[in-house]
Chains A and B, each alone.
Chain A
Amino acid sequence: MTAILRTTGLTKTFGAVTAANALDVSVEAGSVVGLIGGNGAGKTTFINLVTGYLKPTSGRVHFDGLDITGQPPRLITRLGLCRSFQIPQVFDSLTAYENLLVGIGIVSMGRKAFIGSALGRQSPETVAEEMLQRFRLGAYRDQLASTLPEGVRKLLDIAMALAVKPRILLLDEPTSGVSADEKFTLMDLVLEAIRAENVTVLFVEHDMEVVRRYVHRILAFYEGRIIADGEPAAVMAHPDVRRYVVGEPVAGGEDAC
């Protein structure tokens, strides 16, 4: 099966700092992949490179066979590769409903430009209402985004990424800033919302419980490199991952996690 997302030798240097070092990643369609690693390990840089926010120093990115290296975010989004942000990027002076309507409006303007643009016969307003319901944001419909609680802003951010009907969704720390008991609720909601559309999901996560629950595969980052790549159990047991990401077991034999 051809990978829906493939990076080869993806590298990004800022002067003396190598934020991403020859990253080779291959993701199959429909899979759910977790990206783990400490702060500054290169996870967000990876997302920034793939989505076009940063231009790689070297290496290439392929989306479903198409070379998208160096393309701007605007075009990559239109091809069907979207992301959410660590700090939710929403339109503060607009209501939750209006936020979604902006995104859907953009989709409806460029019908031909969006592959798989599936608005069909529904009006943008209807689609916006429906997304509000799907993400349980109905109660916040007419509230300004700036007044929403952090977890709701996160949801809105993700909902907006989905509004453009992506085939790949990159989530940057979707549960950070959300209270522990709500993390699962949020992830359940997001994955449920996209279940029907066979969307490939990659998400950055620090909470190992969350990672373990949802992913088929983990990519572990450290200092710009991928130090482990495979099934969750294998990656978690990997010595480098234990040393740099997850943590060693406490002396006495008990698992720290």
Chain B
Amino acid sequence: MSTLIAIAVDGIIYASWLFIIATGLTIVYGVMRILNMAHGSLYALGAYAAASLAGAWLQAGYPPMGSYVVLVASALLVGLVVGPLIERGLLRFCYGRDEVVLVLVTYALFLILEDLMKLVWGVEAWFVSEPYGLLGNVEFGPLSYPVYSAVMVVAAVVVGVGLRWGIYGTRQGKLLVAVIHDREVSAALGINVNRIYLVTFALGTTLAALGGALTAPTVSVVPGMGVETIVLAFAVVVIGGLGSMPGAAIGSLIVGLVRSSAVHLLPQVELFSIYLVMALVLAFRPRGLFVAVEARKI
């Protein structure tokens, strides 16, 4: 029984982490039709930024509770600076090209960002573990969890609710949905598609960085930490359906629960169980669980 609870709780925590990252990826694809292979690097960038800034904050002796704000602020910083830089400086020259070409462009970007981070932050690990331990632990019967894990879950919920409201409740959000459905018609109707792209990519970057920033206190921040994350994010968005936010949520839950089940019950299959699920979902639902309808070709 306690194993089941452990699986569920671990699964939800992991799913929350995945959701924050995967949502950014899926929104960028939905609006811009770009499957961003550098998304994992942006996640890592968020982690590094958080480690630096929150680390500096704590070193300077400011109130430790403020470090949580600094974590989020670092993510925002990355999202609002690096995001537009990439979109305006690189991506905008590639719009209209084949989707796979754009994937390759983002793959090249991933290579570049990985080394840039090594140049800026070096190859040694960075740590900023205080925010993690600060909140203490909570007991669930025989199981003990750090309260910090709840931060991840809360963040995921806030992101989910916030996005839902932002996209379906505001005018800007509705423009986003219009562009998701049809770029050309939206442009013809006078929607500033370029601005929407900029906003979307900045949003996606912020979310990836947020995932990284919130993760920073729980791990050692090292080069290459985005490399495994990106394939997990792919699994989630492909399972859920590219461009679908509810899909990202469901996909995160599925992957989270599958992984935690594997970890607790059958550790040998931990790594490949996620990709097996991804392959299985694709086998039966070639476009993921939540898909848009396709128009007639001839």
Direct contact between the two chains A and B in their complex (CB within 8 A): yes
By a beta-carbon cutoff of 8 Å, the part of chain A in contact with chain B is 44, 48, 53, 85-87, 89
6 contacts between A and B (CB under 8 A): A44-B298, A48-B298, A85-B298, A86-B298, A87-B298, A89-B298
Complex interface residues of chain B between 230 and 248 (CB less than 8 A to chain A): none
A115, B298: Cα distance in complex, Å = 27
By a beta-carbon cutoff of 8 Å, the part of chain B in contact with chain A is 298
B298 contacts across to A, CB distance below 8 A: 44, 48, 53, 85-87, 89
A85, B298: Cα distance in complex, Å = 8
A41, B298: Cα distance in complex, Å = 15
Q: Which residue of A lies closest to B298 (CB)?
A: A85
A48, B298: Cα distance in complex, Å = 9
**Chain A proximity of B278: nearest CB distance (Å):** 29
A53 contacts across to B, CB distance below 8 A: 298
Q: Which residue of B lies closest to A172 (CB)?
A: B298
A139, B242: Cα distance in complex, Å = 46
A44 contacts across to B, CB distance below 8 A: 298
A48, B297: Cα distance in complex, Å = 12
**Chain A proximity of B187: nearest CB distance (Å):** 23
Q: Which residue of B lies closest to A86 (CB)?
A: B298
A86, B297: Cα distance in complex, Å = 11
A86, B296: Cα distance in complex, Å = 13
A39, B298: Cα distance in complex, Å = 14
A53, B298: Cα distance in complex, Å = 10
A89, B298: Cα distance in complex, Å = 9
**Chain A proximity of B132: nearest CB distance (Å):** 53
A86 contacts across to B, CB distance below 8 A: 298
**Chain B proximity of A85: nearest CB distance (Å):** 6
**Chain B proximity of A9: nearest CB distance (Å):** 23
A44, B298: Cα distance in complex, Å = 9
**Chain A proximity of B230: nearest CB distance (Å):** 32
